Amino acid sequence: MRSSPQISDQHLVQIVDAALAQATHKSGEWLGCRPGCTQCCMGAFSITQLDAIRLRQGLAELEVTDPARATRVRERVQQSIARLSADFPGDTATGVLHEDKESEERFFEFANDEPCPVLDPHTGMCDLYAARPITCRVFGPPVRSGPEDALGICELCFHGATDEQIAACEMEVDPKGLEPKLLQELEKSTGARGKTIVAFALNAVLSS
């Protein structure tokens, strides 16, 4: 019997979190990530449909454990949607980003100053931290990305470290390529495909 995408996704999260723990240990004081640092929470960024499902599950759980905090998240989501909809380079009904070159270029300049609606502006903490997207989980340590597979780091981290020292702390995010397989399984079983952003992923809950 096949496991559901949601259950399998937890295995992916465990792999990524273990890789993060190892990279954090190797990076030591070079890694500047601390509670209240919101560098990675500013600006819209794309997330997968697996991330979207996880976020919606996280909000549903928050509704039970802390209804007042969940209400504040919902309010910030609605405010964010109101600000972003006019220029969103995608389908505002589904929240899915368009994939043509022009839309991708528009997204590069889109909402760079927009705070993530899951960020509590008073505490500087993520209200859905346990359910956060994979992108959020890997921000900070050296990670390879982009068409050139370049090694990137947060600009607030690794001050004074050499290129060799940075490379020695590299985080291998998904060594077995589990995420693409799960996304294919999800699309096959539900039809969900494409990328979205946090606000639209959670807006799907509010609109249902």
Residue 1's pLDDT is 34
Q: What percentage of the chain reaches a pLDDT higher than 90?
A: 79
Bridge partners (DSSP) listed for residue 107 = none
Cα(158)–Cα(123) distance, integer angstroms: 25
pLDDT at 144: 86
Model confidence at 207, pLDDT cuts 50, 70, 90, reads low
Residue 39 lies in a domain: no
Q: What is the pLDDT of residues 58-83, one digit of tens each?
A: 999 999 999 999 999 999 999 999 99
The domain containing residue 62 runs over which residues?
A: 5-25+44-207
The residue among 77, 49, 85, 78 whose CA lies nearest residue 189 is 49
Residue 9 lies in a domain: yes
As a whole number, mean pLDDT of residues 49-56 equals: 96
Residues 6, 21, 198, 151: is their CA dihedral positive or negative? negative
Range with lowest mean pLDDT among 41-45, 97-101, 150-154, 193-197: 150-154
What pLDDT is stored for residue 206 in this prediction? 60
First-to-last alpha carbon distance for the chain, in angstroms, is 30
Q: Strand, helix or coil at 2?
A: coil
The one-character DSSP state at 152 is: E
Beta strands in the chain (DSSP E): 119-120, 125-126, 143-145, 150-152
| 3-state SS assignment for residue 153 | coil
Whether 96 maps to a domain, the answer reads yes
Run of H or E residues at 55: helix 49-65
On whether residue 112 sits in a domain, the answer given is: yes
Token pair 């600009």 is found at 155
- Report pLDDT digits (tens) over 98-140: 999 999 999 999 999 999 999 999 999 999 999 999 999 998 8
Q: How many domains, in total, are found in the chain?
A: 1
Q: Is residue 36 part of a domain?
A: no
131 domain-assigned: yes
For residue 30, is it within any domain? no
- For residue 112, give every residue at least 6 positions away whose Cβ sits within 8 Å of its Cβ, in sequence order, or none: 42, 43, 44
Q: Looking at the domain assignment, is residue 132 inside a domain?
A: yes
For 135, phi and psi rounded to 5 degrees? -55, -40
Which residues face 196 on adjacent strands? 47
Residue 192 has pLDDT above 60, yes or no: yes
Q: What's the whole-number average pLDDT of the chain?
A: 91
Give the residue carrying structure tokens 């959020």. Answer: 136
